[in-house]
Amino acid sequence: MAHSRPKPAKRPRRAAQPGRTLRPARIRIVVADSQAIDRGGLVGLLDDERDFEVVGEAAHVLEAVKQCAAIKPDVLVLSLNLLGQEEQAAIPAIRGVLPRLRIVALSERGADHCLVLNPPYRTQSAAELNLVCSVGMDCLHLAVTQGAAATVRRSADPEDLFRAIRTAAEGGAWYDPTTMTGILSATGPEGRSGPKEPNFSARELDVAALIVEGHSNKEISSTLGISEPTVKKHIGHLLVKLGLPDRLQAALLLARNPLLFKQKSQR
């Protein structure tokens, strides 16, 4: 008579040992692009990376908002050709629901074909748009001012897209060279639309230096012996004078333009 072999007991899951390297969690990504073929190509490209996981897709602004609100991805890869932007620009709509979502903006369009700067209902010429858009004639520049953490050209190497996504997921900023040049020319001390010599107070310069070093508001408060609301007030003044929407972009600009701190040594 045949006897069934007893099933081996399940081996208990081994606890992580001190110093043992654990495999990092994958970056959860939603891809938004109005063109099905382009969207499918992006999904396939990202799914081939071991540390990426595409968890959602969208072809319309409202769909992107709904997907991101429901799934809460780490990163949204957003093509700036998204349908529905004639009614509401995608980045402000999404950040209105999820202000902390990291967005990688993807585009190749200039003002004449950019659905953000020049939606179908608008008949303004490029010259007229210049009066409206103070950050440049490229929709990726505008995407940065709206809160995108990274920008990538469609003509870029896939590795650039991967770097942008990983950097954004880690809380950093990654801009393609032309976008970075546009940001600096639009907001730097010699830029066309920014002040030639931003007039920072001594305390604002102290705060700016600590922002560049990556300190939080609480750490800046402790270091300078001022309250957190006062820190926020100084940061607000810095952003206004630099013409930037958030501290991340301010830190990047200040780090790349150390001459902005020369006023401190002259005081």
pTM of the model: 0.56
Q: How many residues does the chain have?
A: 267
Does the pLDDT at position 28 exceed 50?
yes
pLDDT (mean) for 167-185: 75
Q: Under the phi-then-psi rule, with left for phi > 0, alpha for psi from -120 to 50, and beta for the rest, what region is 72?
A: left
Angle 139-146/177-187 helices, nearest 10 degrees? 70
Tens-digit pLDDT profile for residues 211-231: 877 788 888 999 999 999 999
The pLDDT-based confidence of 240 (bands split at 50, 70, 90) is confident
Tens-digit pLDDT profile for residues 105-160: 998 655 455 544 455 545 555 444 443 443 334 677 778 878 889 988 888 889 99
Report pLDDT for 96.
85
> Which of the two residues, 72 and 136, has the higher pLDDT score?
72
Residue labelled with tokens 């896939």 = 158
* CA 198 from centre of chain: 25
Contact by Cβ (8 Å): 114, 89: no
Query: CA-to-CA distance for 211 and 216, rounded, in angstroms?
Result: 7
* Mean pLDDT score across all residues of the chain: 75
At the top level of CATH, the class of 27-187 is alpha beta
Q: Is the dihedral of CA 164, 166, 168, 173 positive or negative?
A: negative
pLDDT (mean) for 226-254: 81
Topology adopted by domain 202-266: Arc Repressor Mutant, subunit A (1.10.10)
pLDDT (mean) for 157-169: 93
Phi, psi of 174 (to 5 degrees): -140, 115
**Token digits of residue 263:** 């006023």
| Domain spans in the chain, listed from the N-terminal domain onward | 27-187, 202-266
